[in-house]
Amino acid sequence: MTFDDKFQTQRLDRFIRRKFGNVPQSLIEKAVRNKDILVNDCRAKSSQRIANKDNVYIHPNIERLFTNLDNKNKILNKTAVSKKHIDIFKNGIIYEDNGLIIVNKPSGMAVQLGSKTNIALDVIAKAYNPELRLVHRIDKDTSGLTIFAKSPEVAHYMLDQFKIKNIKKTYVALLSKKIHFKNITIRERLLKNKDRVVIDPINGKDAVTQFSFIKNVSGLSLVYAKPLTGRTHQIRVHASSINAPILGDIKYGGNPNKYLYLHAYEVTLKQYNTGKTITVTSPLPEYFKVRDVF
């Protein structure tokens, strides 16, 4: 897809909105991350400036999605976000201050829209408060803490804090097998390969996860998992690498279950305005409690 002179030297995300209407930034960012949008056959950034000589490729599925967002107004129409959805968001708020809202996301709810989802937490957040901006993502089947900023300034601050690793995250996971260690640090380089992530010592990116044993439960092991880097599916792949995949994580060898037993349990960060360090903890879902893990 090339573009007209009137779009010359536009940012890529603005060009997309001119073509397709009010596409949410989170959806553009996801498409760029997944290489569904390319500039001159190369990976792009949403902030990249493009000229009329450039070629912008948009995957047909994403092009259809963007077109539907504007022309058919099916996904982001306010009627798509029901009162039930907003109540789930409102009741899931664990922490709120002048800059942040931290929500306990249920398992099975996507954080961001995609070609196979018609509702997502960030869309519900916008319906609850149009100023909210997603600054922390977890997988659809992972439950737990998800962070939203209330302004662009706080969003930029939080993203910078993640980049310099000033935000500490702790997950709780139930592994499919008993483990025989108290603490272990996994350092395996990870590479995204389509919809999976694989260990690749040569081409992969650095990934480090610390696992700490909590207790054994009926032949399974409950652990804390602390990702020191932020790679896709990092905890899941690292757990599988020690032959103890997460219960319910069929993609990486875990025993089948209705739920993925991975919960974003705790986050420690510094407030934007005060610099005060806070720690926010999220209660475990009921399906954890049924197994009497705590």
How large is the average pLDDT for residues 68-92?
Answer: 70
Q: How confident is the model at residue 154 (pLDDT cuts 50, 70, 90)?
A: very high
Q: What is the pLDDT of residues 37-72, one digit of tens each?
A: 999 988 999 889 998 888 899 988 888 788 776 554
Given the residues 139, 195, 206, 249, the one annotated as active site? 139
Q: What is the pTM of this model?
A: 0.75
Task: Note whether 180 and 266 are same-domain residues.
Answer: yes
Q: Which two tokens stand for residue 176?
A: 């499919």
Task: Note whether 196 and 258 are same-domain residues.
Answer: yes
Residue 3 pLDDT exceeds 60: no
Number of domains in the chain: 3
Q: Which of 163, 192, 211 is the last residue of a domain?
A: 163
CATH of the domain at 14: 3.10.290
Task: Note whether 270 and 180 are same-domain residues.
Answer: yes
Task: Note whether 218 and 282 are same-domain residues.
Answer: yes
Domain that holds residue 9: 5-72
Amino acid occupying residue 76: L
Task: Note whether 157 and 50 are same-domain residues.
Answer: no
Task: Note whether 286 and 228 are same-domain residues.
Answer: yes
Q: Which of 163, 184, 199 is the last residue of a domain?
A: 163
Task: Note whether 211 and 266 are same-domain residues.
Answer: yes
Long-range contact pairs involving 200-208 (C-beta distance under 8 Å, separation at least 24): 205/229, 205/231, 207/231, 207/234, 207/237, 207/238
How large is the average pLDDT for residues 245-251?
Answer: 96
Residue 13 pLDDT exceeds 70: yes
Give CA–CA dist 59/48, Å, rounded: 18
Task: Give the residue from 294, 264, 286 showing the smallest Cα distance to 172.
Answer: 264
Instruction: Classify 192 as helix, strand or coil.
Output: strand
Task: Note whether 174 and 157 are same-domain residues.
Answer: no
Cα 75 → chain centroid: 19
Task: Note whether 148 and 246 are same-domain residues.
Answer: no
Task: Note whether 82 and 155 are same-domain residues.
Answer: yes
Residue 209 pLDDT exceeds 80: yes
Task: Note whether 13 and 66 are same-domain residues.
Answer: yes
CATH of the domain at 265: 3.30.2350.10
How large is the average pLDDT for residues 150-178?
Answer: 93
Active site residue 139: yes
Task: Note whether 22 and 87 are same-domain residues.
Answer: no
How large is the average pLDDT for residues 184-197?
Answer: 92
Q: Which of 72, 103, 130 is the last residue of a domain?
A: 72
Q: How confident is the model at residue 181 (pLDDT cuts 50, 70, 90)?
A: confident
